[in-house]
Amino acid sequence: MVACAELAAYCQELLVVSAFDDYCPNGLQVEGTRPVRRLVAGVSASLAFIEAAIAVEADALLVHHGWFWRGESPSLTGLKGRRARTLILSGASLLAYHLPLDAHPELGNNRQLAKHLGVDDPEPTAAGRGQIWRGHLPRPLDGEAFAAQVASALGRVPLRVPGRGAPLRTLAWCSGAAQGFIAEAAALGVDAYLSGEISEQTTHLARELGLDYFAAGHHATERLGVQALGEHLAARFGLEYRFIDIDNPA
Residue 140's contacts (CB-CB under 8 Å, 6 or more residues apart) are 167, 168, 169
Burial tier of 201 (Cβ tally within 10 Å: 0-12, 13-18, 19+): exposed
The reported pLDDT for the residue numbered 135 is: 98
Burial tier of 193 (Cβ tally within 10 Å: 0-12, 13-18, 19+): buried
Fold of 104-221: 3.40.1390
The residues spanned by each domain of the chain are 4-101, 104-221
Give the model confidence (pLDDT) of 78-107 as tens digits. 999 999 999 999 999 999 999 999 999 999
The reported pLDDT for the residue numbered 117 is: 97
In 3-state terms the chain splits into helix, strand, coil percentages (rounded to 5) of: 40, 25, 40
Contact 47, 79 (CB under 8 A): yes
Helix (H) or strand (E) holding 28: strand 27-30
Fold of 4-101: 3.40.1390
Give the model confidence (pLDDT) of 14-25 as tens digits. 999 999 999 999
Give the model confidence (pLDDT) of 157-191 as tens digits. 999 999 998 899 999 999 999 999 999 999 999 99
Nearest to 175 by CA among 245, 116, 120, 230: 116
CA 85 from chain centre, in angstroms, equals 26
Nearest to 160 by CA among 176, 142, 139: 142
Is there a shared CATH topology between the 4-101 domain and the 104-221 domain? yes
